[in-house]
Amino acid sequence: MSGGNNNPPANPPGKPVKITLTVEASNLFALGGTTYTQAQVDALCTLSDDNNDGTSTDVRTYVSNVYLAHNVQWVGEVKFPDGVDKGYSIGIDSIVHEATPQSDPTAPSNQNFFTDITMPGGGGRSSNVNAVVNNEPSLINQLDVYTINFSVYDQQNNHFPFQIDPKLRANN
């Protein structure tokens, strides 16, 4: 008789999470060649996730719950695909962890939720980013302040870069 467990370990609790950035693309693209404020960008963007539990309608305070050892995917979409945004697209260029002890000792979390500080997208008008949350129990209930760098593309493949700063909360 063996004293070991012959069953494989259970999957970690939680699940993969998909975070969607929805943009009023034609309006935001029009700002791209001008001087604009971050408030104007924020007003033309919304975030949602497939947990349906984001804690704010404001992208600056939006928090998505993510899970240790599970994938997070960021995708972009236009708000009015059959209307004024037809032919536009949103590419997620990168996700960047902002809070480090050196840059902001008072940040909600100084630990990076991911292996890399910058996670690049695949490039182009339909780019998205995938990353696995570190399996680090000290992250549970912490907030990660990060930046979504994205581009708005028009029908001719011209594009302008923008960014927003939401948050993640780690869960077990």
Task: Please report, in tens digits, the pLDDT of each residue of the chain (172 residues total).
Answer: 444 434 434 566 789 999 999 999 999 999 998 899 999 999 999 999 998 766 667 898 898 999 999 999 999 999 999 999 999 999 999 999 875 544 445 555 556 789 888 999 999 999 999 999 999 998 888 888 889 999 999 999 999 999 998 888 888 8
Confidence at residue 1, expressed as pLDDT on a 0 to 100 scale: 42
Confidence at residue 54, expressed as pLDDT on a 0 to 100 scale: 63
Q: Under CATH, what is the fold of the domain 17-171?
A: Immunoglobulin-like (2.60.40)
Confidence at residue 110, expressed as pLDDT on a 0 to 100 scale: 56
**Cβ neighbours around 7 below 10 Å, total:** 6
Domain ranges (residues) in the chain: 17-171
Confidence at residue 39, expressed as pLDDT on a 0 to 100 scale: 95
